[in-house]
Amino acid sequence: MLGFSALFLGDYRVLAKVNTQPFTDAVAQAKSTTTKGAGFASEFDAAKAEWKAKFDEGDKLVAGTTDRAKWPDFLKIVNDHLPDPVRDYKLDPNKPSDESRLDRLRVHIDAIKPAWREDLDTEWFNAPAPTGLTKVGKDMMHQLDRAKPPTGPGWVIQVIGHHYNPYPDAKELKIPENSLLRTDHGPVLFIIKKILPKLNAADLRLYGIHHPTVAWALPDPEWTNEKASMTNGLASTTIPILDRAKPAVTATAGGEGGMMPGMGGMPGMMPGMEGGMSSGRGMMGGEGMMPGMMPGMMPGMMPGMGSGYGGMAGQEAKKLVKHTRTDFLLQFVWQEPKPEDKPKTPEERVTKLQEINKSLLEAETNKTMITADREKEIAKESLKQSQEVQKAMIQGAAATPATPATAAPTAPAAAPATPK
């Protein structure tokens, strides 16, 4: 019995050594340190998640240098597919006898504005105007595209421009439309026959450009230099273009909100583009005016109603040289192909181009016919769109109270401390 007691007391003394207060304090301190460490880790993860959310938000609002580098190439490709009478008709700009034909065959680009859509089908193709594609735009689209709406996210590229191609006379009508001797086609037919086919090219579709159409066109058979001087050469009525590009792009020298990255005078920019760029919601306009208003216009005025126009004496008015000017709005989709969808070899590229051309030809069972009556309908529909947009802007301006002048903004408050 004494032996067992001795053995027990020996074990108890060992147990007593690890149950002392210093040992208990050490265990408590270790647990406290573990708890603090877990808290720090949790706070760090929360702060990191918050930072990541802000970073992602900013990343969506800023176009990277890789994206900016794509736009000059894009602009060059589009420019190469627009009509060029010097290239296409072998006309000489230095030859006086070619000057008249050059003036009637040139296409002038005033501005190019992109609009981002997360779902091109519901937010553009099948969306009601003015937020989506117009009825004119759908009617003028290639049958292949009309039957198959675009899907997924992408850019709706809007090309604002004008031309001076008049209605053909009896002599011009005798010349086949596809002949290089034919100059005059008419305000809308010139767009349908000479501009849209180039934008429907197979190589553009391989690049991701598709669904080109003319969304709006408004001829003015009595355009004069007097009107041009009042509008700085731009359209004299509201052009119903879509909202500015979203997500917003980085500001570049000479650029502005809603412009493509790298469009502020960068190489590859089409001639005349910078003159047509404007600020605001996306309507063509001038500084100090409502978006969509042209210089020399008052709210509610229509083309030709600018100040000073029509006040000439009868003899002076007769001396004016009148042209048929047509302002137009082209729209098409650009969805850059994924790397895996791009042709890997020249042979694969040729095969893909042949497939695209075949699809385009097979879809052309019933080509869009443009008659004189249809041209008038297009002009009427386009004018109605402009009037509706202009009316909405005037009503919006009347409903918005004037903003009182404010002092210059103060320096921003100090940034919050970095989370620990």
Report DSSP letters for 347-363, one per residue. Answer: HHHHHHHHHHHHHHHHH
Tokens, residue 140: 């003028």
DSSP state of 185: -
Per residue in 322-369, pLDDT tens? 889 999 999 999 999 988 989 999 999 999 999 999 999 888 765 666
Straight-line distance from the first to the last Cα atom of the chain, in angstroms, rounded to the nearest whole number: 63
Sheet containing strand 209-223, strands side by side: 107-117, 154-163, 323-334, 209-223
> Could you tell me the residue ranges of all domains in the chain?
68-282+319-397
Q: What is the pLDDT of residue 280?
A: 34
Mean pLDDT over the full length of the chain: 75
For the segment 174-231, what is each residue's pLDDT rounded down to a tens digit? 999 889 999 999 999 999 999 999 999 999 999 999 999 999 999 998 888 777 666 6
Contact 121, 211 (CB under 8 A): no
Confidence of residue 262 (pLDDT cuts 50, 70, 90): very low
pTM, to two decimals? 0.65
- Write down the pLDDT at residue 363: 84
Residue 217, Cβ neighbours under 10 Å: how many? 24
CA-wise closest residue to 158 among 119, 123, 109, 194: 109
Q: What is the pLDDT of residues 47-80, one digit of tens each?
A: 999 898 888 777 665 555 556 678 888 999 999 9
The C-alpha atoms of residue 87 and residue 69 are separated, in whole angstroms, by: 27
Q: How far apart are CA 140 and CA 193, in angstroms?
A: 11
The band of 164, judged by pLDDT with boundaries at 50, 70 and 90, is very high
| pLDDT at 257 (0 to 100) | 40
CA–chain centroid gap for 212, Å, is 13
Confidence of residue 401 (pLDDT cuts 50, 70, 90): low
Residues in contact with 334: Cβ distance below 8 Å, sequence separation at least 6, in sequence order: 74, 114, 154, 155, 157, 208, 209
